[in-house]
Amino acid sequence: MTPAGPVLSLRGVTKSFPLADGGVLQVLDVEHLELPAAGCTVIRGRSGSGKTTLLNLIAGVSAPTDGTIVIHGTEITALPEARRDRFRAERIGYVFQSFNLLPAFSALENVVLAMMFARAIPRREQRPRARAILTRLGLGARLGHKPGQLSRGEQQRVAIARALANDPPLILADEPCASLDAATAREVLTVLLAVCREAAKTLLVVSHDEAVLAAGDRLLDMTTINARAEAAG
């Protein structure tokens, strides 16, 4: 059961990186950001505006320098790393710009891997579930194919299936169409929005692609979210 209130809440979140000369570069300064449950929120921003850094912080793959991030009532910034990993595996799906499929594994195995790490779905149910998701995304005939044997559009659909594997309430997508041609990008975007709406997922997409910006329910600009957007850029 998803708790009432915002799915995602960021307060006073900053991210800084140490520099070789001993100084510090602050690339992110988000005073306040909330995301309502369900629907598709698109954050636009030009390259280097801190979009990916923001997604990485929300996904918990990197820790903020300061501030709190709350997802579905859980303050992930207060969790120890191992619990944060577990939380991410179970509650967050991540779609990468470069797909990041594991080349040694088939499409089906790439999806099952996400379930293996989360350990939320019983092992005997993992393969049937992965098969069902991939079939829903039009890849029923490609289950045994390795990423190298799939087109880029198919690879991104496998990545979407992987993000949905553990039925997470929150899906993060980092420039999901940036590596695709226009026609394939449209096709992938349609699929991503459809499955998220169908399953009432909260989708947060960062992009500077016009087609993506137009498809969202809510549009935010990095310059209004990140006080350091100009500096980062």
Partner 1 sequence: MTPVTVVWRYLQGRFVTSVLTVVSVALGVSLVIASVLLTRGIKEAFIAGATDYNLIVGAKGSPTQLVLNVIFRMDAPTPNIPLSTYENLRSDPRVEVAVPVAMGDAYQGFRYVATTEAYFAPFSWRRHVPALLTGRLFRNEAPERPDYEAVLGADAARRTGLKPEDRFYEGEEMAAYPLRVVGVLRPAGTADDRAIFISLGSYWEMNEISRKAMIKPLTAVLVRPKRLSDLPALHRGWNVGPDLQAALPSAILLNVFNLLGLVEDVLAVVLAVVAVVVGLYLFVTMYNATLERRREIATMRALGARRATVLGIVLLESCAIAALGGLAGILGGHGVAALGGSLLAARGGPVTQGLAFSALQPVTFGAVVALGALAGLLPAVLAYRTEVAENLAPL
Summarize as ranges the residues that interact with partner 1 (CB under 8 A). 52-53, 56, 59, 61-62, 81-82, 85-86, 88-90, 94, 96-98, 100, 102-105, 109, 112-118, 123, 126, 162, 166, 174-175, 178-179
Under 8 Å CB-to-CB from 37, ≥6 apart: which residues? 2, 6, 7, 169, 202
Q: How far apart are CB 117 and partner 1 at their closest, in Å?
A: 4
Under 8 Å CB-to-CB from 135, ≥6 apart: which residues? none
If the CB atoms of residues 17 and 218 are measured against partner 1, the closer one turns out to be 17
State both tokens at 113.
């891997």
If the CB atoms of residues 93 and 216 are measured against partner 1, the closer one turns out to be 93
Q: How far apart are CB 217 and partner 1 at their closest, in Å?
A: 25
Q: How far apart are CB 185 and partner 1 at their closest, in Å?
A: 15
Q: Among 172, 159, 161, which residue's Cα sits nearest to residue 98?
A: 159
Whole-number Å distance between alpha carbons of 46 and 207 = 8
If the CB atoms of residues 9 and 97 are measured against partner 1, the closer one turns out to be 97
Q: How far apart are CB 198 and partner 1 at their closest, in Å?
A: 22
If the CB atoms of residues 116 and 194 are measured against partner 1, the closer one turns out to be 116
Between vectors from CA 151 to CA 150 and to CA 154, what angle results, nearest 5°?
80
If the CB atoms of residues 30 and 89 are measured against partner 1, the closer one turns out to be 89
Residue identified by tokens 């975007």 is 189
Q: How far apart are CB 45 and partner 1 at their closest, in Å?
A: 15
